[in-house]
């Protein structure tokens, strides 16, 4: 069995539209808050964390809601249509309220966008495992991550050509960049809807899986109807909790570096901001190049081993960065390793979570994955920031290496989530309910 890369790329358009918006959000909203509304860093930082706080509750909710949905166009597709449409409409209010200097209306608009983006994030990501047999989900997740990176890159290009001069807020026109991003989201969603028949592909996945002896019972259900959810056995539940804890721990480490490196590099290493951004870009490029090869490798050596190797690489990269006292080209080596290690972790962690779920709960557990990762991203900027402020800037990389290393311990205790093809059964046996 081979992954249908064309089909997975088309499904990945949903995640591409999501990452397009978040790239715009992370780049433009802080500048608007600072230059247009004159908010201090503390208040702006809290506002920028609202997306993670909202995600803690909304992503599992809408993921679970999509699990229980039953429509002619599938379980996830209605949420993708509704979420994209509403998000694009509310997005257009952001540049308008910015131009009018209406902070209250701006915050209402921003809040509505964050909520409507949550409507389809878990369902869009859950669509990939819905149509991909379990043994192929690491490869599928690699493609999805690659599509997300492409979405972010598209918006970075738009920012380069359409972004206004934010140092002159009274004349800055944010409409072109928001309209351009909205266009990417709309076009991506339309292509997805025209090329991906969710019910048909879901049924095909169940039959292919059952032919390998995987989830045979799910294939016996009426394809268009929701499948009854089952509770996880205690050993599987233990592995799930350990895996989710591992996810939170490595996000605690990794996100501390990505959010504070710009300040760290200027204050501690005396680097220019542009130089620091290039160091981070090396990690992003390394991760992007690694996604597909790591997905292929994981199918051969297993997801858990791939993650453990990635954790070791990431921890070594962060530990090596501890010893830099000024800029050196060796930093590119450390951050290349960090990108590869992070890709190895990222490609395999969500498929391991979903491997332990049933078809009826894919959306819910996708939401749990994001809840634990988002919780870490809410906590770690505050915790690591306090260390930077009250202890020393030298704490950043030891802090990151510590949390990444702790995830190795919890990950070692995970006993479930590696997918291994079982003995194939005949297509007639799939529907043999017995006497």
What CATH number is attached to the domain comprising 371? 1.20.1250.20
Last residue of a domain, one of 220, 242, 274: 220
| pLDDT on residue 223 | 46
Distance CA 404, CA 256 (A): 11
Question: Do both 166 and 263 map to the same domain?
Answer: no
Are the C-beta atoms of residues 363 and 63 closer than 8 Å to each other?
yes
Question: Do both 269 and 403 map to the same domain?
Answer: yes
| pLDDT on residue 230 | 63
Question: Do both 20 and 47 map to the same domain?
Answer: yes
Question: Do both 215 and 246 map to the same domain?
Answer: no
Question: Do both 215 and 354 map to the same domain?
Answer: no
Question: Do both 299 and 391 map to the same domain?
Answer: yes
Question: Do both 206 and 242 map to the same domain?
Answer: no
Task: Read off the pTM.
Answer: 0.80
| pLDDT on residue 359 | 59
Distance CA 260, CA 243 (A): 26
| pLDDT on residue 315 | 97
Domain range holding 103?
5-220
| pLDDT on residue 218 | 53
Question: Do both 156 and 269 map to the same domain?
Answer: no
**Per residue of the chain (435 residues), what is the pLDDT tens digit?**
789 999 999 999 999 999 999 989 988 888 888 888 988 877 887 888 888 889 888 999 999 999 999 899 999 999 999 999 999 999 999 999 999 999 999 999 999 999 999 999 999 999 999 999 888 898 999 999 999 989 988 888 888 788 777 667 777 889 999 999 999 999 999 999 999 999 999 999 988 878 777 665 554 544 444 444 567 889 999 999 999 999 999 999 998 898 788 778 888 898 876 687 788 888 888 988 999 999 999 988 999 999 999 999 999 999 999 999 998 999 999 999 999 999 999 999 999 998 888 656 888 898 899 889 989 988 888 888 889 888 888 999 999 999 999 999 999 999 998 865 444 444 444 344 443
Question: Do both 261 and 136 map to the same domain?
Answer: no
Which three-class secondary structure string do you get for the chain?
A: CCCCHHHHHHHCHHHHHHHHHHHHHHHHHHHHHHHHCCCCHHHHHHHHHHHHHHHHHHHHHHHHHHHHCCCCCCCCHHHHHHHHHHHHHHHCHHHHHHHCCCHHHHHHHHHHHHHHHHHHHHHHHHHHHHHCCHHHHHHHHHHHHHHHHHHHHHHHHHHHHHCCCCCCCCCCCCHHHHHHHHHHHHHHHHHHHHHCCHHHHHHHHHHHHHHCCCCHHHHHCCCCCCCCCCCCCHHHHHHHHHHHHHHHHHHHHHHHHHHHHHHHHHHCCCCCHHHHHHHHHHHHHHHHHHHHHHHHHHHHHCHHHHHHHHHHHHHHHHHHHCCCCCCCCHHHHHHHHHHHHHHHHHHHHHHHHHHCCCHHHHHHHHHHHHHHHHHHHHHHHHHHHHHHHHCCHHHHHHHHHHHHHHHHHHHHCCCCCCCCCCCCCCHHHHCCCCC
| pLDDT on residue 272 | 78
Distance CA 170, CA 37 (A): 11
Question: Do both 182 and 314 map to the same domain?
Answer: no
| pLDDT on residue 421 | 46
Question: Do both 327 and 200 map to the same domain?
Answer: no
Q: Is residue 380 part of a domain?
A: yes
Tokens of 328: 């050196």
């Amino acid at each position: 069995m081979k992954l249908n890369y064309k089909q997975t790329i088309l499904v990945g358009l949903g995640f591409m539209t999501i990452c397009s918006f978040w790239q715009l959000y992370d780049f433009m909203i802080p500048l608007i808050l600072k230059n247009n509304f004159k908010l201090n860093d503390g208040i702006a930082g809290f506002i920028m964390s609202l997306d993670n706080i909202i995600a803690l509750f909304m992503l599992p909710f809408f993921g679970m809601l999509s699990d229980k949905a039953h429509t002619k166009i599938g379980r996830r597709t209605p949420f993708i249509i509704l979420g994209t449409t509403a998000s694009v409409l509310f997005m257009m209010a952001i540049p308008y309220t910015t131009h009018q200097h209406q902070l209250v209306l701006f915050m209402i608009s921003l809040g509505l966008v964050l909520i409507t983006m949550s409507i389809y994030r878990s369902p869009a990501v859950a669509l990939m495992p819905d149509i991909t047999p379990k043994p192929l989900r690491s490869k599928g997740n690699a493609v999805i991550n690659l599509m997300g990176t492409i979405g972010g890159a598209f918006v970075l290009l738009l920012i380069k050509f359409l972004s206004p001069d934010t140092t002159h807020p009274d004349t800055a026109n944010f409409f072109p960049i928001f309209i351009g991003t909205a266009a990417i989201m709309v076009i991506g969603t339309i292509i997805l809807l025209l090329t991906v028949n969710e019910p048909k592909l879901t049924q095909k996945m169940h039959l292919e899986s059952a032919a390998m002896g995987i989830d045979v019972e799910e294939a016996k259900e009426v394809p268009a109807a929701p499948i009854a959810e089952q509770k996880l056995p205690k050993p599987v539940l233990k592995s799930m909790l350990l895996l989710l804890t591992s996810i939170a721990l490595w996000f605690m480490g990794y996100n501390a570096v990505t959010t504070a490196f710009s300040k760290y590099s200027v204050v501690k290493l005396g680097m220019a901001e542009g130089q620091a951004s290039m160091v981070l870009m090396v990690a992003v490029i390394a991760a992007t190049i690694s996604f597909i090869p790591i997905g292929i490798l994981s199918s051969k050596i297993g997801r858990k081993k791939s993650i453990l190797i990635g954790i070791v690489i990431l921890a070594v990269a962060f530990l090596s960065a501890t010893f830099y006292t000024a800029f050196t080209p060796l930093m590119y080596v450390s951050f290349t390793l960090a990108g590869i290690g992070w890709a190895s972790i990222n490609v395999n962690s969500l498929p391991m979570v979903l491997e332990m779920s049933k078809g009826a709960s894919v959306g819910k557990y996708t939401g749990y994955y994001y809840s634990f990762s988002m919780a870490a991203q809410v906590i770690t900027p505050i915790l690591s920031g306090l260390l930077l402020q009250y202890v020393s800037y030298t704490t950043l990389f030891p802090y990151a290496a510590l949390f990444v290393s702790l995830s190795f311990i919890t990950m070692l205790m995970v006993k479930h989530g590696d997918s291994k093809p079982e003995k194939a059964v005949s297509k007639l046996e799939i529907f043999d309910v017995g006497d």
